[in-house]
Amino acid sequence: AGFFSVPKKCQKAREHFGTVRTQMESLKTKFPADQYYRFHEHWRFVLQRLVFLAAFVVYLESETLVTREAVAEILGIKADREQGFHLDIEDYLSGVLTLASELARLAVNSVTAGDYSRPLRISTFINELDSGFRLLNLKNDSLRKRYDGLKYDVKKIEEVVYDLSIRGLNKEATVGVGEEK
**Residues paired with residue 86 on neighbouring β-strands, in sequence order:** 78
3-class DSSP state of 26:
helix
Exposed / middle / buried, residue 169 (Cβ in 10 Å: 0-12, 13-18, 19+): middle
Name the residue type at position 160.
V
What is the C-alpha separation between 131 and 85, in angstroms, rounded?
Answer: 30
What is the C-alpha separation between 47 and 26, in angstroms, rounded?
Answer: 15
CA R_g for the chain? 18
Q: What are the distances in angstroms from CA 158 to CA 7, 47, 58?
A: 27, 30, 23
Q: Say if residue 82 carries a ligand binding annotation.
A: no
Residue ranges of the annotated binding site are 102
Residue ranges of the annotated binding site for Mg(2+) are 102
